[in-house]
A and B are shown apart, each in its own frame.
Chain A
Amino acid sequence: MNSAAFVVIAILTLAAAVAAATLQKLMHAALCFAVAFVGVAAFFFLLGAEFVGLVLVFVYIGAVAVLIVFTILLTRRDLEKDRSFNWSGVVIAIAVFGGLLWAICKTQMLSSSAPQIQPLTVKHIGAVLMTDYVWPLQCVGLLLTAALIGALVLVMEEKNSKSYRVE
C-alpha cells in the first residue's frame, strides 16, 4: 500500500468534505460532495476493494450527486445561499471526534500492517451474492422498489391542494 497515495487521497477527501459542509453556495457544495466521494472511492481502490469503489462511483457520483443537483435546481427560488450556521453543531462534532479519536488511540492491535490477501474478484463477489447472500439481495431489491414507489408518490402532483407559505 502506497503511503504517498494515501496522504494525497486523504487530503483531497477531507478538504472536499470540509468544503461540502461549509460552502455557502449550494451548487458548489454539491460538486465538492462529488469530489469527496471520488476520494472515498480511491480509498476503496487502495484497500483492494475495486468493485465497491466502482459501485460507489456509479451510485454516488452518477446518481446521488446528480439527484442533489436536480433538487437544488428545483428548489432554487428559495435560497441561493445558505448563510445561517449553527455553532453548537461544531461543538458537538468536535466532541464526537475527540471521543472517537480517544477510542481509536486507546485500542491495541490496530497498528499492524495489512496482511497479504488474494485479490477479490467480481466473480467471487457475484457467486457469494447469489448463494449465501441471496436473501439480503432480495430484501434490498424489495427496499429499492419500495423507495422508488415512495419517491414517486411523494413528488406526485397533488390535485387542488393549498400551498401554505411560511411567513
Chain B
Amino acid sequence: MIPTLQIFLIVSATLFCIGLLAALSRRHAIFILIGIEMMLAAANLNFIAFWRFGPQSQQPIGVMIAIFSIAIAAAEAAVGLAMVIAVYRHYRTTNVDQLDQLKG
C-alpha cells in the first residue's frame, strides 16, 4: 500500500478531531490550548499533503502557507499561555467553567 493523498487526509482529519475533542471536553485552559495547537497542526499537514500531491508549480505555495501558519500558531500560543497565567493570577483558577463573572 503506497500512501495516497486520501490516507493523509484521513490521518489529518483524525488529528483534527482529537484536537477538537481536547478543546471541547476538557475544562482546563491549558488543555484547550493543546487542542487548538493540534487542530492547527492537522491543517498544516493538509497543506503539505496537498502541496506534495497536487500539480507542481514554480512556487511552493503549500509550504509557504504552512510556514506562515506555524509562525501565527506560535504567536497564538504565547499570548494564550500569557492569558492563562494572567487569569490564574487574578482568579486563582484555570478551570474555564469557573470563569463566569460575565455571565448574566
Contacts and interface: CB of A to CB of B under 8 A. Distances in A.
Interface in B70-87: 70-79, 81-86
A97 B18 CA distance: 9
A49 B66 contact: yes
B89 A163 contact: yes
A103 to B, nearest CB: 9
Interface size class of B (residues with CB under 8 A): 35 or more
A147 B79 contact: yes
Interface residues of A, number: 90
A49 B52 contact: yes
Interface string B9-24: 1110111111111111
Interface string B77-101: 1110111111011111111011101
Contacts of A10: 11
Among B15, B21, B38, B49, residue most surrounded by chain A Cβ atoms (within 10 Å): B21
A104 B31 contact: no
B85 A47 contact: no
Nearest to B25: A89
Contact of A89 (B16, B21, B72): B21
Nearest to A19: B18
A111 interface: yes
A112 B5 contact: yes
Contact of A113 (B4, B38, B44): B4
A119 to B, nearest CB: 11
Contacts of A29: 31, 34
Contacts of B49: 47
Given A75-B30, A86-B24, A155-B86, 20 more contacts: A14-B11, A17-B38, A36-B15, A43-B48, A48-B52, A52-B48, A52-B66, A52-B67, A78-B88, A85-B27, A89-B24, A111-B5, A113-B2, A114-B53, A133-B68, A136-B68, A143-B71, A144-B75, A151-B81, A163-B90
5 contacts: A59-B73, A71-B85, A93-B18, A111-B6, A113-B2
Interface of A: 1, 3, 6, 10, 13-14, 17-18, 20-22, 26, 29-30, 33, 36-37, 40, 43-44, 46-49, 51-52, 55-56, 59-60, 63-64, 67-68, 70-72, 74-75, 77-79, 82, 84-90, 92-94, 96-97, 100-101, 104-105, 110-115, 117, 120, 124-125, 128-129, 132-133, 136, 140, 143-144, 146-148, 150-152, 154-155, 161, 163-166
